[in-house]
Amino acid sequence: MPNFLDIHRTAPADLRTILESASEMKATRGTRPKGTPDDDLPLKGHVVALIFEKPSTRTRVSFDVGVRQMGGTSIVLSGAEMQLGHGETIADTARVLSRYVDLIMIRTFGEDILAEMAEHATVPVINGLTDTSHPCQIMADVMTFEEHRGPIRGKRVAWMGDGNNVAQSFLHAAASFGFHFTFSGPAQLDPDPALIGAARSAGCEVRIERDPEAAVRDADLVVTDTWVSMGDPESSRQRRHNLLRPFQVNERLMEAAPDHALVMHCLPAHRGEEITDAVLDGPRSVVFDEAENRLHAQKAIMRWCLGV
Ligand code: CP
Ligand code: NVA
């Protein structure tokens, strides 16, 4: 029973199958109204639980709409309103939900919670973001890059700012999809060194470059994300802002990048903090294509998990 827990825990050939299926479904739907079902209704008769222990706009709506388009039914659950938020174990929640639904997507805190859910569920589990990874986002990002620029293999991705969950999933993806990765941020917020080592062992060039302009000089893609993620303590906000300010993605930084370099941000953006309006709304930005592709990529992930 395939779970979709992390990029590096899914075989590269399966990641490719998922992306091909996502592109095919996107092309087939074309511009038809968003509420109309797909012709083949692959999730007909299936129920999907979408559990959120953290806020969400994109993940919540794109999974829900994706299930509906494929003819299934979704139940959106907030962790705080479930018994999960009042002492019931993850393991028992997984066992019970598996008796009612065919698929579970969970957005949560520690990776251990996700692992416990997957261990005790008897239906597939999808990672909708943890403190340390966000694999669905990266599938949409690779899809978006390839729509605009062709195969990502051998290309250069420059990550600016915090070595957070999204950055770490990019590192996993570098190994799986064969692109190079430059991290540019303060040493205190480097990604997990084990992930850097794993990507290097897989043959990727991984650079740590403290000079933001040097980091983007050969980039095909410049990516950033919030300076304070949902799992980070509020008390760290000021320290993080002070550390991360030099790594803002702004027009001056983008002048140092090649003309063809794209800009991505998983959103929500904090305009004027990690990225300026001029870049986010500028011609290199593909952030809303990224957001749209969450829908198509996740539909393909759900089909792959369910084998339908
Ligand atoms: N990018 C992303 O996962 O957005 P949400 O937090 O709105 O789901
Ligand atoms: N790094 C961000 C991503 C939000 C989609 C967070 O975890 O809050």
DSSP calls for 129-196: --SS--HHHHHHHHHHHHHHHS--TT-EEEEES---HHHHHHHHHHHHHT-EEEEES-GGGPPPHHHH
Q: Residue 250 is inside which H or E element, if any?
A: none
Catalytic residue numbers read 107, 134, 137, 225, 266, 294
Annotated binding-site residue? 246: no
Residue pair 254/279 in contact by the 8 Å Cβ criterion: yes
| Residues of the chain where predicted confidence (pLDDT) is lower than 70 | none
Closest-CA residue to 143 (of 283, 8, 5, 264): 264
Count Cβ atoms below 10 Å from residue 88 Cβ, excluding itself: 12
Instruction: Show Cβ contacts of residue 142 under 8 Å, excluding neighbours closer than 6 positions.
Output: 19, 152, 173, 177
Instruction: Give distance in angstroms: CA of 100 to centre of ligand 1.
Output: 26
- Cβ of 224 less than 6 Å from ligand 2: no
**Residue spans of beta strands (DSSP E) within the chain:** 47-52, 73-78, 103-107, 125-127, 156-160, 180-184, 206-208, 221-224, 262-265
Determine the number of helices (DSSP H) and then strands (DSSP E) in the chain: 12, 9
Measured at the CA of 106, the angle between CA 93 and CA 23, to 5 degrees, comes to: 140
User: What pLDDT, on a 0 to 100 scale, did the predictor assign at position 150?
Assistant: 98
User: What pLDDT, on a 0 to 100 scale, did the predictor assign at position 299?
Assistant: 98
Annotated binding-site residue? 58: yes
What ipTM does the predicted assembly reach?
0.99
User: What pLDDT, on a 0 to 100 scale, did the predictor assign at position 38?
Assistant: 96
Instruction: Give distance in angstroms: CA of 108 to centre of ligand 2.
Output: 11
Question: Which atom of ligand 1 sits closest to the CA of residue 136?
Answer: 3
Report domain 32-132's class.
alpha beta
Report domain 135-290's class.
alpha beta
Residue carrying structure tokens 């899914």: 10
User: What pLDDT, on a 0 to 100 scale, did the predictor assign at position 140?
Assistant: 99
Instruction: Show Cβ contacts of residue 292 under 8 Å, excluding neighbours closer than 6 positions.
Output: none
- Cβ of 164 less than 6 Å from ligand 2: yes
Instruction: Give distance in angstroms: CA of 266 to centre of ligand 1.
Output: 7
- Cβ of 25 less than 6 Å from ligand 2: no
- Cβ of 62 less than 6 Å from ligand 1: no
Annotated binding-site residue? 238: no
User: What pLDDT, on a 0 to 100 scale, did the predictor assign at position 85?
Assistant: 86
Count Cβ atoms below 10 Å from residue 147 Cβ, excluding itself: 13
CA distance 18 to 231: 29
Residue 254, helix vs strand vs coil: helix
- Cβ of 56 less than 6 Å from ligand 1: yes
What pLDDT digit, counting tens, does each position of 232-290 carry? 999 999 999 999 999 999 999 999 999 999 999 999 999 999 999 999 999 999 999 99
Residue 73: HSE in the Cβ half-sphere, 13 Å Cα cutoff: 7
Annotated binding-site residue? 229: yes
In the chain, list all ranges with CATH 3.40.50.1370.
32-132, 135-290
CA distance 268 to 247: 18
Q: Which ligand is nearest to the CA of 226?
A: 2
User: What pLDDT, on a 0 to 100 scale, did the predictor assign at position 42?
Assistant: 98
